[in-house]
Chain A
Amino acid sequence: MSAVGALLRKDLRLELRTRESVPAMTLFSLSAFVVFHFGLQRSSLDGDLAAGVLWVTLLLAALLGVGRLFVTEREEGGFDAIRLAPVDPSAMLVAKALTLLSFLAIVQLVAVPGFGILLLGPSLLPALPGLLAVLALADVGIAVIGTLASALAVQTRARELIVALMGLPLLVPVVLAAARATAPLFSAGGASPPPLRWLGLLGLYDLVFALVAYAVFDYLLDD
């Protein structure tokens, strides 16, 4: 547990000093909203279209962070260090997933209000409690799968390419469920709560992939 804490602190401090991922992800989200405005030729969105734009943007922004998650470990010998240290290698999986989760939370702290101001037709405030639940469940899924995809891709030559190719199909169910759950929150006639079965599906997906990731992660480390 303390190993997880140490690794997480290290990653957050690294991000604080280098500012490599979070600003890029945030800026990307805002630019994507602008692109959607022109691409869709709409100045305000509601319902399923709004949910779709929000989730596609958040997913693509997340992939930016996913691509770099393990790069420093590979280049600066973090993988060797964790193998040498007398701790469970899964600590690195948990720490990286938590790092990604906190990156996503920080990005969304800006991107979601930004979306509310720039594109969303109905007010964001009544939708907020439901949206927070969807965001939390979906972010866990993105963090777990993102960590796994990033760890798989980091040893390949075309890292960024493989992350995108592998991450997108793996995250389709998350986007699908998150967008379905978010659509009623953004409906023009006032927010209604997200359907439980989509939240349930997100939860199930998170759980299954957390277990799968835990089971296979050691094999990605031992060399």
Chain B
Amino acid sequence: MHGKALRPGLKPLALATVLTLGGAYVLAFFYAPNDADQGFVQKIFYLHVPLAICALGGFIAGGVMAIGYLRTGEQRWDLRSYVAIHLSLIFAVATLITGSIWARASWGHWWVWQEPTLVSFLIIFLLYACYQPMRFAIEDPERQARYAAVFAVVAGAFVPLNFLAVRLANPLVHPRLLGSTGSLPPSMELTFVIAMVGMALLWVTLWKYEITAKQTSMQLRALKRRLAERAEMTLPAPAPRRSSAPRPTPAARPAEPVEL
């Protein structure tokens, strides 16, 4: 079965995530030095930046998976794309919160408009926040998948362009991380890289976990439906129930809700 094929990888993956991410934060607190200007609060860097990168990467991955859906029409690609965007949205909320805390601590304000990275991130978050309202406002499931995929592709193309536009508009205040990691002392850099890997593993683990959960509940629903069908066929002689509690008329049994 499909769900089973995924599950064996899940346990080692979860273990690796816990070890890497746990190790990263042990390093962040006990190995990496306090920042010279910002002091202790700079530790949030090991949480905030990996979250942000994973969220953006996840959005783009969701777009790529959506292309997979549009090309093949296979429902599992839609599921993957949906879960990727859904998960990245949660990561994005965490990014905005941690970023705001960091901004407050190091720049003195909860929100800084002059800062392109913050602003672009907010715009992207607002765009993806309407993925789910749009998706679930479409009734037909096949059309829902198709429209959601188109949205994911369009929004995926929007992510880099939006960063370009907002960055052009503003002077740079935000620490430039990608491409300037060389300025970090090696102990910080090592911690950051491990935290980054750990966060990426966390993303993948949660992604796989949610897909497995969704597939399992779909299988369960299909099985229940079949069971209900079978019960309907053999209705004249309903199977004895384990419970001896009095039940309503057996004729009403197959119509019982089978949803979970």
Contact = CB atoms under 8 A, between A and B. Distances in A.
B132 to A, nearest CB: 11
A162 B133 contact: yes
Interface string B177-193: 00000000000000000
Nearest to A180: B169
Contacts of B157: 208-209, 212
A169 B143 contact: no
> Interface on chain B toward A: helix, strand, loop, or mixed SS?
helix
A157 interface: yes
A166 B127 contact: yes
Interface string B155-179: 1011001101110110000000000
B147 A152 contact: yes
B149 interface: yes
Contacts, number: 83
A217 to B, nearest CB: 8
A220 interface: yes
A197 interface: yes
Given A169-B127, A173-B162, A173-B166, A219 B146 contact: yes
A168 B126 contact: yes
Contacts of B134: 152-153, 156, 162, 165-166
B137 A157 contact: yes
A3 interface: no
Contact of B130 (A166, A172, A216): A166
A201 interface: yes
Nearest to B165: A173
Contacts of B133: 158, 161-162, 165
B154 interface: yes
B235 interface: no
Contacts of A201: 164-165, 168
Given A216-B70, A216-B154, A176 B165 contact: yes
Given A152-B150, A162-B130, A205-B165, A172 B70 contact: no
12 contacts: A152-B150, A153-B134, A156-B138, A162-B137, A165-B130, A165-B133, A166-B127, A169-B126, A169-B127, A176-B165, A201-B165, A213-B154
Interface of A: 148, 152-153, 155-158, 161-162, 165-166, 168-170, 172-173, 176-177, 180, 197, 201, 204-205, 208-209, 212-213, 215-216, 219-220, 223
